[in-house]
Structure 1
């Protein structure tokens, strides 16, 4: 782990509720609730969905995502990666003056609340989910915590997509049905890819600063031009995957509604081209997150309509 190199020039702490709201990085939370919605809608095709379990999964997933963001905030600050001039969605410590230990305590509190909800989920389904849940939370912590943070390696996108996309869909499906189906796994793939795309977009924006700090992200290893191409390919694979599932009869025709999010994906990929300054790439980052949101909700609507008709 790199030693902290920051100089503490934090402003006086602000206790406005909006500071704590921004600390959760709300526009990243779609990466948590979209998979829960998709997994639950898939389960609706096989069984009567229990709203209490859906709500529990939704809240627990949001808490884990928020905690992961807070760990990111804390460890980026401790390693000297954040400053008042940094461009990004963080800043509760460097710009709003929150004490680092407060941010860390809030992160662990979110984990604690998620674990309590997890006990209820396990009581209603299977205690094996406790093991899976602990692994998912560990991934959230070690994404930026620990001696070798996942976010500092080329595997950040893979880890985020797998744990916050693929696994959340399967868990949401399992708690309602008591089993995991091949269909659920296949539908989870494009959602996982788009969750990973959010992280890749973030790493493209931060490429120069991350390289200076010694990170080895995928964007750094392949270079900015190829990273943008990889992002575009992730979008393309996600859309083509849905088309293939429809052609093979795995999902109903109505799931093609997800393709309506393609213009946002095009805007996201194009928004990075020719840009080198982080502030210039913020609209493209936002468009990437919006692609995930639109794709996920349109997919869920398509699945729902297909089950009704």
Structure 2
């Protein structure tokens, strides 16, 4: 059981849940939060994230990015703790569970299978599952050509926030893109830390991530840009909604992450801290909107 817990990479869960929680606090601001929608959204997100982590473990080993020379935590398939066949089965099981949970979430949110919203969100969910698998697995993984950052920004930010808000309210407004971008930028920052850590092994494996393309110095500048974009999105939205300044308490933690990543050759410890910081950021963002 321990090897499966390690392979599930639980430290990534706060990051995955941040956009779902952001959608919830935005819905609470307009008094449309629902506990049942939130509970099923959380379960679906966790299952999808674990499936994605399993697929990443499987894909990077099969495509040569995870080797004995890798700097970060040892991966389950690469180390032999879990066989490729076992991991494929785990991907199938968690993917099926995520799909079924997502179906029930949509029924809870929209009331029936016949809703036009149900069909649209079903397609979006299937797209998210495909993106989770093909990031590093499959014949042409898009993470190997530097498109992982775009996917994370979209699914952990814009789509995660806007879509989860819509599940509560059946409503969209353009200003939601600001908290969506903020969450997405922090999530992309976590991926960037991962890719800075793995630069050498990725380069040897032909995995052309943003840090491999830019080099370490420019990748650190890119990291700071992501952190500043996240903070800027928060300032803009809270100011637009005349919220309270509690969200500013998360800014020192965000700045600290930038400093730590810049100073240390191996930034792996700060991947987890930025994931947790993103969750703190969303909680304080919610307090800023909902406490008067």
Q: Normalising by the residue count of structure 1, what TM-score does the alignment of the two structures yield?
A: 0.85
**Alpha carbons 1:73, 1:90 under 8 Å: kept:** no
Match of 1:264 in 2: 253
* Cα distance in structure 2, aligned partners of 1:303 and 1:253: 5
**Alpha carbons 2:51, 2:94 under 8 Å: kept:** yes
Match of 1:49 among 33, 56, 62: 33
In the alignment, does 2:16 pair up with 1:32?
Answer: yes
Higher helix share: 2
Aligned residues: 284
* Cα distance in structure 2, aligned partners of 1:129 and 1:242: 26
| Per-residue deviation, 1:90 | 4.9
* Cα distance in structure 2, aligned partners of 1:79 and 1:18: 25
* Cα distance in structure 2, aligned partners of 1:304 and 1:21: 35
Query: Could you list the per-position Cα deviations for residues 6-60 of structure 1 after superposition, in whole angstroms to 9, with x for gaps in the alignment?
Result: xxxxxxxxxxx22211111111111221111110111122243221111111110
Moved over 6 A (4+): none
In the alignment, does 2:135 pair up with 1:146?
Answer: no
**Alpha carbons 1:67, 1:110 under 8 Å: kept:** yes
Unaligned runs of 5+ in 2: 111-116
* Cα distance in structure 1, aligned partners of 2:256 and 2:65: 28
Match of 1:291 in 2: 277
| Per-residue deviation, 1:303 | 2.2
In the alignment, does 2:245 pair up with 1:238?
Answer: no
Query: Could you list the per-position Cα deviations for residues 153-183 of structure 1 after superposition, in whole angstroms to 9, with x for gaps in the alignment?
Result: 2221111121122211112111111122223
| Per-residue deviation, 1:116 | 0.8
* Cα distance in structure 1, aligned partners of 2:261 and 2:20: 29
Q: Normalising by the residue count of structure 2, what TM-score does the alignment of the two structures yield?
A: 0.90
| Per-residue deviation, 1:67 | 0.6
Unaligned runs of 5+ in 1: 1-16
- 1:1-309 equivalences under 5 Å are 17-84=1-68, 86-95=70-79, 97-124=81-108, 125=110, 126-127=117-118, 128-247=120-239, 250-254=240-244, 256-273=245-262, 275-276=264-265, 280-305=266-291, 309=292
**Alpha carbons 2:67, 2:201 under 8 Å: kept:** no
**RMSD value, Cα:** 1.9
| Per-residue deviation, 1:266 | 2.5
